[in-house]
Structure 1
């Protein structure tokens, strides 16, 4: 097999940092006294989840952490790894080694429950140290049992200044680029297009260098050249230096504000820029529950159907489905009553751990029943209208209310029904 030429290795790979000190960005985690730095300085590395956008250094930091504590490193991708392959890696631990190997799972949110459960046992037994990387909120995409056994750290997109430093380092230190006379005049434009993604910034620089006019000796990397080699859609998407999540925010706020035209415009900006359709659809599912909720429960059903549809159909046809859902959500009645209710309930749950009242416990064994489990419970279906008043909260929380009916037709109808029901009993 012929040797790989350095020019065949992408610039982003050639510029991968070799030490934690060489990492640009993420100083809140890696600087002196920061959490991850303290861990490795003490030779300790627990299982962790690294949460952040693409190209912010999740894979690199995972490799460097493993190296800093002198652990074997195994890298897997959730996109290509099944349970069988996962178990082969978990069972390949060197029994002579005193240290657990580090198993890095990229896109760990794409693992199904069975795959995550397979990891759980190995993490609990200490057979591996897991480092999971995800672009999704771990609270929603990773099993609670696995998440509770990992420390979660948020990685931030690189700033314009950090991208500029990265580009300058590449021109000065990369074995290929440093041999060229490069006049880099488009750092700001590249940073705008990169959206905080170091890999994307280096890719744009590499393409610009390969395309630049070499007849004058000096390679001038200016805005016109970068604009010509980068996708024009990306320039439109971020011509004012906005990060892609700002466009998402604008779309969601337009939906919340019942402006279908603005919502369509911001979504079109994302589609034209090449944003994955399923990324947009997932945000619509969240908006359907957070901003519409029980004012129109069909909104969540439609948004969920759209998510599954765009995943199976893909672009360009997916734009039609997304357009329909965006207009439906923007013109729907709105309510955030359930969003506020679950937040209030979770805030209390973090502070209160009252025992379950005995009558609500499930007396599945004779001993449990003898101890009073389930005694006094009233089965609502045995009574008129399938309702009978009884206490469902712990005694110390009696009367606590999280949910308040919003002033929309559907929730007010539910309020009247509940009032009528309680009045009859």
Structure 2
């Protein structure tokens, strides 16, 4: 076995390479891979825009200059290839790349944690990211704190400093989702808003230790019900901090369990669902685009962002399926396949369609030479005009019907919802309990006891 050597460099193959019956060592294989990803053929096959090609080539050169191993270069470039492909679809130009977009994109790509550091440093070197990108947010927070009266400022400064210490600690230990500065800014804005409200409506309150429970409740009642619960929880955190720091002697707000608010959008009634279904069936050919959009919302629970990013290559005709990022595939019925075929036929009449990669297209002149997804407003306008309901109400109807008939667990496994989202359409424990009761009743009926 020790006589096995690489056919290129002559290095002895390791036992793993020999077991795989390889004739080339891992290092030579990696070098060939790195050479291949820099060829014009590979770049044309994987990219559609010049700026993304330039960025990818420069990134490979950047890694070579760092002197890291060939294996690491292969691993990093495969992840950055996916990042830049997503960038082509979601961004108009490389200057639109920012820290928030980059972090959210890397989270979508499996095992991409190791590439973050090199990619960030490369983009900083290229001038697309700044080391002081957060400075604008920090400046805004500090400017807001300057407007706070003397009796209230100390607590807010303590809160801000503690949150910054938490964020810095998370960044230091490479936390997957460090505390966002925008979150800190939003919290500070809520507290500043409360102080301003005190200045206008409760002029006798000059510091935190004179705030009473009825004052806070009166402020909360001035907010909308949906916003009120969020603000209440933020204020509870602030007042607990104030008591711990001995700025106040009591917490002027009740520490109660968060209440579940009633839904702001109700699902369609059964009669309304029947009317929409009939409308889709009789309008297959006259309004194929509107029918397709409505079908994807009502029957498959797709959001506008999911629909707008569907590409022609995502449709697998032989499997009767559409593959969607971040959720299980959408499997189509025969009627839906007919509907897609009809829309594809009408889509072929749009100018420059041969250069378009997305399924849903706009026929306006401003979009003729742009290969980019339509916006959410386009989908909302088409669906609302067609059936009289918004895409969101149709999506909620879909999830509500699935949960009521098959249980909310199916929303997690079949539609890609989180457990928190699925629980809004039904309690997992309640459904399992009902299933157990039904099974016991069937057993008793069958056995006659």
Is TM > 0.5 for Structure 1 vs Structure 2?
no
- When the two structures are superposed, what TM-score results if normalisation uses the length of structure 2? 0.23
- Greater strand content: 1
Larger radius of gyration: 2
Give the helix-richer structure, 1 or 2.
2
